[in-house]
Amino acid sequence: MVLPMKRVLITGASGFVGNNLARALLARGDEVHLLLRPGHKSWRIEDIVDRVRVHLADFSDRESLAKLVRDARPEWIFHLAAYGAYSSQTDILTIMHTNILGTINLLDACAEKGFEAFVNTGSSSEYGFKAQAPSEDERLEPNSPYAVSKASATLYCRYTARKNNLPVTTLRLYSVYGPYEEPTRLMPTLIMHGLRGTLPPLVDPDVARDFIYVDDVNEAYLLAAGSKGQEPGAIYNVGSGVQTTIREAVEVARRVMKIGVAPNWGSMENRIWDTRTWVSDNRLIKEKLGWRPRYDFESGFRKMAEWFLQNPNILEKYNAHLTPPARD
């Protein structure tokens, strides 16, 4: 689908997924506005900052957000700002203020001004542990403060969209990987160790994820914003629909990067969210938006590894994080 160029506002563009989306929108020729928090990490946006318009605001400040939205006049809004997705982000009040209050304030400000599309970023963690691939109408059983906050934000978006007949969509993302990913997560850690012919400490090999390459996620965002006739407050799972164990992921890394050493399973403790069943039911987004993932796990991993080799200036950003264990 070829979509017309738009004036867009992205929150969370200093993060991994938001940064990739910002680059995809710039490649389309869109006018891109970034809404960033004071004190944000800047390394991901250093080379694009002169091609975007940067706005700084605290998500708890409703008046500042409303003024920013009036000034930017976005047609499309992509809300990716979040706190608590990483194990180092543990402050519960910050999680709730950022993910719930921030979403409420932003959506209300945008609703007052009007928009063509507002795409909220949800999380597969909203479902909690399930023994099967949950559909979008599955009962939510969030099992962490972060998951509670994301589920709450999704419900608010759905409520507001239905009440006011607004074009608001939520994408529940599964385990996204790709360029500019947080250095301490599994894929960058595997690649950085692989460049040295080693493997990092590893959890239980049967821990499973639904890994989805970031280019496929970008396509989901564009389709969610550009597809007409959606139900107000629509929710879509964005995952490959294929479960990959950590054992399988490591075997791909060893094959692609020609790593000779054997994995030391259990050398890292499992996290509280680790499970042996974690896979998406992505039938609804395929049916409603015509979205299809183009990358299986191995092709996505190969593309990500090639990106590291083609961008040696990025390697120094990741080298400092080789010692800590991989987080995912």
CATH of the domain at 254: 3.90.25.10
Q: Does 191 share its domain with 109?
A: no
* pLDDT tens profile 125-182: 999 999 999 999 999 999 999 999 999 999 999 999 999 999 999 999 999 999 999 9
Asked if the structure places residue 285 within a domain, the reply is no
Asked if the structure places residue 283 within a domain, the reply is no
Question: How many whole angstroms separate alpha carbon 186 and alpha carbon 2?
Answer: 34
Residue 80's SS3 state is coil
Structure tokens at 174: 């599964």
Number of Cβ within a 10 Å radius of residue 323: 7
Q: Does 190 share its domain with 133?
A: no
Asked if the structure places residue 1 within a domain, the reply is no
Q: Does 144 share its domain with 199?
A: no
Question: How many whole angstroms separate alpha carbon 64 and alpha carbon 193?
Answer: 43
Q: Does 166 share its domain with 273?
A: no
* pLDDT tens profile 271-285: 777 788 899 999 999
Tally of helices (H runs) and strands (E runs) in the chain: 11, 11
Q: Does 228 share its domain with 310?
A: no
> Of the candidates 104, 125, 114, which has an alpha carbon nearest to the alpha carbon of residue 72?
114
pLDDT at 315: 83
Asked if the structure places residue 79 within a domain, the reply is yes
| E-state strands within 43-106 | 53-56, 76-79
Helix (H) or strand (E) holding 32: strand 31-36
How many structural domains compose the chain? 2
Name the least confident of 36-50, 231-245, 308-322: 308-322
Number of Cβ within a 10 Å radius of residue 8: 27
Residue 278's SS3 state is coil
Asked if the structure places residue 325 within a domain, the reply is no
Q: Does 75 share its domain with 200?
A: no
pLDDT at 1: 58
Structure tokens at 94: 């910050």
Asked if the structure places residue 114 within a domain, the reply is yes
Judge whether 176 and 140 are in contact, CB under 8 Å.
no
Angle between helices 297-310 and 186-194 (to 10 degrees): 60
Q: Does 49 share its domain with 124?
A: yes
Number of Cβ within a 10 Å radius of residue 259: 20
* pLDDT tens profile 213-234: 999 999 999 999 999 999 999 9
Helix (H) or strand (E) holding 19: helix 16-28
* 64: Cβ contacts below 8 Å, ≥ 6 apart: 57, 58
Q: Find the CATH number of the domain harbouring 162.
A: 3.40.50.720
Structure tokens at 108: 């209300």
Asked if the structure places residue 75 within a domain, the reply is yes
Backbone angles phi, psi at 228, to 5 degrees: -85, 160
Q: Does 144 share its domain with 191?
A: no
Q: Where are the alpha helices (DSSP H) in 258-296?
A: 283-289
N-to-C CA span, the chain: 32
Where do we find the tokens 């949800």? 122
Q: Does 12 share its domain with 109?
A: yes
pLDDT at 326: 47
Asked if the structure places residue 326 within a domain, the reply is no
In which domain, by residue range, is 125 found? 7-176+214-238
Q: What is the pTM of this model?
A: 0.95
Q: Does 110 share its domain with 164?
A: yes
Percent of the chain with pLDDT over 90: 85
Q: Does 151 share its domain with 248?
A: no
> Of the candidates 155, 172, 146, 12, which has an alpha carbon nearest to the alpha carbon of residue 78?
12
Q: Does 233 share its domain with 245?
A: no
